Amino acid sequence: MMLIAAKKVAIIGGGPGGLTLARLLQLKGADVTVYERDANAEARVQGATLDLHFESGLKAIKAMGLRDAFLNNYRPGAEKGRVIDKYGKIVYDEHSTDFEPMMNVLDLDSEYARPEIDRGPLRDILLNSLLPGTVVWDSQFKNMIPLGHGWKIEFRNGHTVTADIVIGADGGNSKVRPFVTDIQPSYTGIMIVQGNVGHAATTVPQASELLKGGKVYVHADGKYLHISSKGDGSIDFYFVEEKPEGWWNNSGVDFSDGRQVLAWFLSETRGWNDVWAPMFEKADSPYLLRPQYCIPFDQSWEAHANVTLLGDAAHIMPPSGEGVNLAMLDALELSERLTSGDFIDIKSAIAAYEAAMQERGTAEARSSIEMSQWMRAEDAQERLLQLFNHVE
C-alpha cells in the first residue's frame, strides 16, 4: 500500500519543483495541495530562458507524461549564443558557424539533449497538468505548528490548513527550512542585478539585434553580463559582480528609477561599449536584487517523518544552469520514494530521498562556486571560449 494513501500532502511553493511534485503525486492518486504566495499565475514576470537536462528536468517531464506539451512550447535555436567583449566586438558566434541546435524531436531521448524553454510556459505546462483547485494562490506561509502526527499551517492572509506531510519548495529564502534544519546558507559575496525589457525589438533595438533570439555573454573586469531573449519578445539580463553583504540595502541607488540605474551601471562598467546601457535605463520595474547564498558543502540532517525540502529550499547555490533541473529531479525522486511501497514508513522514505538529494546538491554547490569564481576571473572570456570550442 502506498505510504501516503489517505495522507494530506501540502507543498509550500508553486515553482517548477513544487508543481512537478504535485503532478507526480497526483498521478499516483495522492491528496496534494500547493500553496503559493503569488496572487495568481500572472502576478509575477517569470525569469530567463532555461535549458532542461536529459538526466533531470527532461526525465521529470517524461515521468509526468508531458513530453508533447513540452515539445509544443520549447524554443529551438534559443540556445545559440554570442560571446561579446566589453568593447562590443563579437568574439564567438554560434549564429555564423556550423552550429546546429542540439535538440530536435528525435533527440529528446539523447543524453546530450538540452532544450530551451521559457520559465513562464514551463510553469503553465505544469499548472495545466494539475487537477482544478490544486494550487491555492495568495497563500504566503507564516508558520506551522505540530498537530498530532502532522501540522497546522498558518498563512499571512489569516487562513489555516492542516496536513500530514509538508514539503518546502519555497526557494532559497525558505520559511519551511527552519522546521527541517538549523543549518544556514552563507553569503557568497556575489550580487545579481536582474532586469527585463519588454518589446525589446523596439525598446532596445541594438541589443535585441545582437541577441538574434538567443543569448549573449559578456565577461570583463571581474564581472559579467548574461542576456537572454524570450519567446514573448522581451529580454532578460543578469549583471553579476562582487558586493559586500548588505550592499543591497545601502547602495544609494533607487532601482525603480531607470536614470539612477543607468548611472550606476555606467559607473560599474567604465570602458565598456555603451550598447547595453539602454537596457538598464528602460527595463521594466522592479529590478530584482539577488544576493547569492550557498549551502555548506557538508550539510546534512536527520530525516523527519512529516516534513522535507526540495530545490533551492534544500540546496541554494549560485546559478550554474542546474537549479530548476535539480528541483525537478528532487521532486521526481521524492515522489518515487513516497509512492513506491519500498519503505516501511514515511520517515525512512524521506531519509532515502534526502541522502541522495543532499549528496547531489552539495556536489553541485561545489561546482557552482567554482563556476562563479572562474566566470569573474581575469581570463573568464578565454575560458568561456574554450568551453564553447570544447577545448580541455
Domain definitions of the chain by residue range: 8-79+112-184+297-374, 186-294
Binding site membership: which residues?
Answer: 44, 51, 119, 312
Binding site membership for NADPH: which residues?
Answer: 44
Residues with Cβ within 8 Å of residue 17, at least 6 apart in sequence: 169, 310, 311, 312, 324, 327, 328, 330, 331
302-322 average pLDDT score: 94
Q: Which residues pair with 151 in a beta bridge?
A: 146, 163
Binding site membership for FAD: which residues?
Answer: 51, 119, 312
pTM: 0.93
Tell me the one-letter amino acid at 86: K
- Residue in this structure with the C-alpha cell 549560485, named with its chain if needed: 318
Cα–Cα separations (whole angstroms), residue 246 to 54, 191, 303: 38, 10, 33
Mean pLDDT of the residues in the chain: 92
Which class is domain 186-294? Answer: alpha beta
Give CA–CA dist 145/164, Å, rounded: 12
pLDDT of residue 107: 61
Question: What are the b/e assignments for 288-324, b being 16+ CB within 10 Å?
Answer: ebbbbbbbeeebeeebbbbbbbbbbbbbbbbbbebbb
Highest mean pLDDT among 105-119, 163-177, 285-299: 163-177
Fold of the domain spanning 8-79+112-184+297-374: FAD/NAD(P)-binding domain (3.50.50)
The answer to whether the CB of 293 falls within 8 A of the CB of 187 is yes
In 64-118, DSSP assigns E strands to 81-84, 90-93, 116-117
Q: Which residues pair with 218 in a beta bridge?
A: 225
Reported as a single tens digit per residue, the pLDDT across 213-255 is 999 999 999 999 999 999 999 999 999 999 999 999 999 999 9
Q: What three-state secondary structure class fits 83?
A: strand
For the record, the C-alpha cell of 369 comes out as 562556486
337-366 average pLDDT score: 95
317-327 average pLDDT score: 89
Does 98 score more than 60 pLDDT?
Answer: no
